[in-house]
Amino acid sequence: MRALATLTLIACTGTPEPSTPPGPQPSKMMQRDPYWSVRTDAELEAALQQACERAVATERPVLIQFSASWCIDCKKIRSLSTQPPLVDELRAWETLVIDPGRFERHEGLVNAFNVSRLATWIATRPSDCRLPAPGWPRLAEGSFEPVSGSSVTAEQLTAWLKQARQ
């Protein structure tokens, strides 16, 4: 019995395992891929404002992508976005990914843009950043389902963006 108490004492006084820092820890949702940034409504408004200002300064259109990490079509679109020629075309755009979760986040913006499914792209060309994003002139809108619906290629998405940009 005494040997057991000694082992317990040694185990309790040994070097502790590395632990997480004190204070609140991010939820598992917040530890996701940063591509699908989880933002508050205020953070999203700030991101939209910054995207508008950059777009106006550089004379580029804005591509708003409604996308979520749980969505298989969104994952495929993201994968396609790293392939030529789409990766090259996206350089001509100011891009902002909005993660509405399972449509429980950013309801006002989702409703204003009439987003009913993912992956939805809204191509806009803002000229007045005092306007809210739904008021920016729209160039094109589309929902893409390369896995669950019709197949979509990087070339087709590139053509869609080029046509919207003209």
pLDDT, one tens digit per residue, over 10-47 is: 222 233 333 333 444 444 444 455 788 899 999 999 99
Do the domain assignments include residue 3?
no
Selection from 47, 113, 123 nearest residue 38 by Cα? 47
Do the domain assignments include residue 83?
yes
Question: pLDDT per residue over 117-163, tens digit each?
Answer: 999 999 999 999 999 999 999 999 999 988 888 889 999 999 999 99
Calpha distance 141→153 (Å, rounded): 17
What does DSSP say about strands 62-66 and 94-98: parallel, antiparallel, or unpaired?
parallel
Q: Is the pLDDT confidence value at 74 over 60?
A: yes
Calpha distance 10→108 (Å, rounded): 58
Q: Is the pLDDT confidence value at 105 over 50?
A: yes
Do the domain assignments include residue 19?
no
Angle of the 72-80 helix axis to the 154-165 helix axis, nearest 10: 80
Give the other-Cβ count within 10 Å of 11's Cβ: 8
Do the domain assignments include residue 158?
yes
Can you give the CATH number for the domain in which 160 is found?
3.40.30.10
Please report, for the chain, how many H helices and E strands are present, in that order.
6, 4
Q: What's residue 16's pLDDT?
A: 32
Q: What total number of domains does the chain contain?
A: 1
Do the domain assignments include residue 125?
yes
Q: What's residue 53's pLDDT?
A: 97
Calpha distance 153→97 (Å, rounded): 19
Q: Which of 4-13, 25-34, 107-116 has the lowest mean pLDDT?
A: 4-13
pTM of the model: 0.78
Q: What's residue 36's pLDDT?
A: 86
Q: What's residue 33's pLDDT?
A: 59
Phi, psi (deg, nearest 5) at residue 85? -90, 0
In terms of residue numbers, what domain contains 132? 28-165
- pLDDT average, residue stretch 66-89: 94
Do the domain assignments include residue 138?
yes
Q: What's residue 54's pLDDT?
A: 97
